[in-house]
Amino acid sequence: MFAHIQAAPADPILGLNDAYKNETNPNKINLGVGVYKDEQGNTPILQSVKQAEERLLTEELTKSYLSIEGTDNYRQSVQTLLFGENHPIINKKLAHTAHTPGGTGALRVAAEFIKKHLPEATIWVSNPTWANHQAIFQSVGLEVGSYAYYDASSKSLDFESLLASLSQIPEGDIVLFHGCCHNPTGIDPTKEQWQQLAKLCGKQGFLPLFDFAYQGFGVGLEEDAQGLRTFAEQVPEMLIASSFSKNFGLYNERVGALTIVCETADNADAAFTQIKRAARTNYSNPPAHGAAIVAEILSNKALRSLWEMELQSMRTRIHEMRGLFVSTLRSKGVEQDFSFISKQQGMFSFSGLNPEQVSQLRKQFGIYIVGSGRINVAGMTHENMDPLCSAIAEILT
Ligand code: PLP
């Protein structure tokens, strides 16, 4: 029964990580998978997380199942992070949130919910987008299309083409936006551009689905939510897939959430029962530990301010690495202009390196970058910057 099965190709990003582990070059550098690294190249457990875990360890009374949607405390905390304190959506109970295993779990539940209740809808993703988006939606049988986003020649947002693309999307389809820190380009719409996009969404009648995996990695917790909050003012319905893998460093705890916003509280109640059904037939109920940490941190003043400081220091370090990367390349005599990298947000940049150059970096120097040229800026440190930039200078000249 199994003998005919062909091996699946390695995941373009996680497969790269496996290859990196087997790399024998002692000076190897990993700028592939999207994981934050500190100055020592480690992915540390945040202090706020450690302290929350200590409390949970002494206070936890049971390992019994959570409900399908997770705990109320966690779900409310997620909504406050998304919309801000006392937002009308929260006060009028227009949104419901389910705790899901990571942002991927949220996207998967969203996909199943969409397939069942809006089966004719096509889901539109930016070109380019996170490598897993297409696969998640296609795996439930949804049609996936792409809209214009990035201008490779100017290394910036092609806003005119983006508007033109979205103007073609019919009522009833779904458009996925990256809430902030667009993966892989690191380029987000400005405040004014978000306003235009939200207005267009209202006019065209498509449903926005926000993938919000990097809140706090761009400018700040509030600022990074500006896109989805702008939409929330203009359109009555939306879906939001949150991930807390990066901003709490809880990668392997699988903490995420799917939030649905409806026009009325009754609609939200009814639709949420269907989201719970999708979760029940998928993983039944979510893993407790990571979400309990998030809820503990967000509901405790001291832990929350410690977390915000830690988040800020991750954000600042990445930003510093962006600037250092650009100036070090320049100091190595690279004439190509890389200054766009210091203007981008979040962990990633589209470097503009082509697949051949990416492959050369890997073979000659043990430097691992995703084939598309996406680099994880958080993998750079003061120590690896010099060899990294020397290698890039060598392949570019
Ligand atoms: N969405 C985007 C844009 C991502 O970059 C990621 C992770 O890299 C995810 C979703 C999934 O996050 P999680 O690890 O919580 O499943």
CB-based contact 63:287 (threshold 8 Å): no
Distances in Å between the Cα of 207 and the Cα atoms of 118, 172, 261, 273 are 11, 7, 11, 19
Q: Tell me the average pLDDT of the chain.
A: 95
Whether 93 is catalytic is no
pLDDT of amino acid 371 = 86
**Under 8 Å CB-to-CB from 290, ≥6 apart: which residues?**
244, 248, 250, 253, 254, 255
| Candidate of 36, 104, 123, 252 to mutate for ligand 1, largest count of ligand atoms within 8 Å of Cβ | 104
Give yes or no for residue 130 CB within 6 A of ligand 1: yes
C-alpha 158 to ligand 1 mean position (Å): 24
pLDDT tens digits, residue range 163-188? Answer: 999 999 999 999 999 999 999 999 99
Q: Is 130 assigned a catalytic role?
A: yes
pLDDT for position 262: 98
Can you give the pTM of this predicted structure? 0.95
Residue 102 Cβ < 6 Å to ligand 1: yes
Ligand 1 centroid to 283 CA: how many Å?
A: 18
126 lines ligand 1 (CB under 6 A): no
Distance 80 CA to ligand 1 centre (A): 20
Q: What is the pLDDT of residue 386?
A: 95
**128-149 average pLDDT score:** 96
Share of residues in the chain with pLDDT > 90 (%): 91
pLDDT of residue 14: 78
Q: Tell me the mean pLDDT in the region 126-146.
A: 96
pLDDT at 13: 77
What is residue 15's predicted lDDT score, i.e. its pLDDT? Answer: 82
Give the residue among 377, 266, 300, 268 at the shortest CA–CA distance from 49.
Answer: 300
Catalytic residue, candidates 37, 124, 155, 246: 246
The upper half-sphere exposure of residue 362, i.e. CA atoms within 13 Å in the direction of its Cβ, equals 23
pLDDT in tens, 234-253: 999 999 999 999 999 999 99
- What was the pLDDT predicted at 12? 73
pLDDT > 90? residue 78: yes
CA 318 – CA 292 distance, rounded (Å): 28
Which of 245, 253, 254 is the best mutation target for the ligand 1 pocket, counting ligand atoms within 8 Å of the beta carbon and taking the most? 245
Q: What is the pLDDT of residue 11?
A: 78
Å from CA of 34 to ligand 1 middle: 8
pLDDT for position 16: 85
- Is beta strand 238-243 parallel, antiparallel or unpaired with respect to 207-212? parallel
